[in-house]
């Protein structure tokens, strides 16, 4: 925290706020097309509230602005926490996690044939699948049930 700015009564730079405004929250939610931007589960079938999360955490210099915010289900938000990097299980190298603002989901992830498992197509995709546990049991069960209803995989417009 830049204490000196406060001490001298200077305005904090915009984007310093940790909590997104109501307008930012609405914009982030609208942009996400009703699904978690990581695991793509439909919000309307998840009992816990979704979160507007900082892709780069504030503590690591991330700003509270639309291009650093993503909409995530409670589970993905929990496992991501303050991570920005994780190990790619294929190379054992630490790499940047998937960034939904800078990368296209479709280029990082694909569904397996059954559409129950997410496969990482790239280093970032593989690291994110593992670190955020994008194939956790609850998601696999929901994908199966939603698939039976014809609601999975979700059909979305461009998310960039
Ligand atoms: Zn999720």
Q: Which residues surround ligand 1, an ion (CB under 5 A)?
A: 36, 38-39, 73, 76
Ligand 1 mean position, distance from CA 41 (Å): 6
Confidence of residue 160 (pLDDT cuts 50, 70, 90): very low
Ligand 1 mean position, distance from CA 47 (Å): 12
pTM of the model: 0.87
Cβ distance 55 to 101 under 8 Å? yes
Task: Please tell me the distance from the alpha carbon of residue 158 to that of residue 33, in angstroms, as a whole number.
Answer: 9
Q: Calculate what percentage of the chain has a pLDDT beyond 70.
A: 88
Name 157's Cβ contacts closer than 8 Å, sequence gap at least 6: 33
50 pLDDT more than 90: yes
Give tens-digit pLDDT for 131-144. Answer: 999 999 999 999 99
Ligand 1 mean position, distance from CA 9 (Å): 40
Ligand 1 mean position, distance from CA 108 (Å): 15
Give tens-digit pLDDT for 83-115. Answer: 999 999 999 999 999 999 999 999 999 999 999
For residue 159, what pLDDT is reported?
44
Ligand 1 mean position, distance from CA 72 (Å): 5
3 pLDDT more than 70: no
């Amino acid at each position: 925290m830049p204490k000196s700015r406060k001490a001298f009564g200077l305005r904090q730079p915009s984007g310093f706020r940790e909590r997104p405004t109501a307008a930012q929250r609405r914009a982030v939610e609208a942009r996400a097309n009703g699904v978690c931007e990581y695991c793509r589960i439909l919000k309307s079938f998840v009992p816990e509230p979704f979160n507007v999360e900082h892709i780069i955490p504030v503590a690591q210099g991330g700003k509270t602005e639309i291009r650093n915010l993503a909409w995530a289900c409670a589970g993905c938000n929990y496992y991501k926490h303050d991570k920005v990097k994780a190990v790619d299980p294929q190379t054992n190298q630490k790499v940047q996690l998937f960034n939904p603002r800078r990368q296209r989901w479709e280029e990082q992830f694909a569904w397996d044939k059954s559409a129950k498992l997410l496969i990482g197509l790239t280093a970032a995709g593989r690291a994110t699948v593992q670190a955020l546990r994008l194939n956790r049991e609850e998601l696999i069960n929901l994908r199966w049930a939603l698939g039976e209803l014809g609601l999975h995989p979700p059909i979305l417009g461009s998310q960039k």
